[in-house]
Amino acid sequence: GEQITRDRDAYQYLVESIRKFPNQAHFAKMISETGLAQVDFRNLTGGIAAIHSAWRI
């Protein structure tokens, strides 16, 4: 990516943000702590990505 766009900072930001982002269970806990209910997540492609859902009741 960096060699194509010549934008090292953008790719460094991407790497760091992925590293710092909480895992699926911790992110679900963070969502529930905001007061949302029925918080759940589903892993996609072996956990590379996840879909989180919640309800505001």
Task: Say whether pLDDT at 6 is over 90.
Answer: no
Q: What is the pLDDT of residues 39-57, one digit of tens each?
A: 999 999 999 999 999 999 8
The residue behind tokens 């969502």 is: 31
- Confidence band, pLDDT 50/70/90 cuts, at residue 12: confident
d(CA 19, CA 22): 8
Distances (CA, A) of 26 to 10, 13, 29, 44: 26, 22, 5, 17
Task: Say whether pLDDT at 2 is over 70.
Answer: no
Average pLDDT of every residue of the chain: 91
Per-residue pLDDT, 13: 86
d(CA 41, CA 53): 6
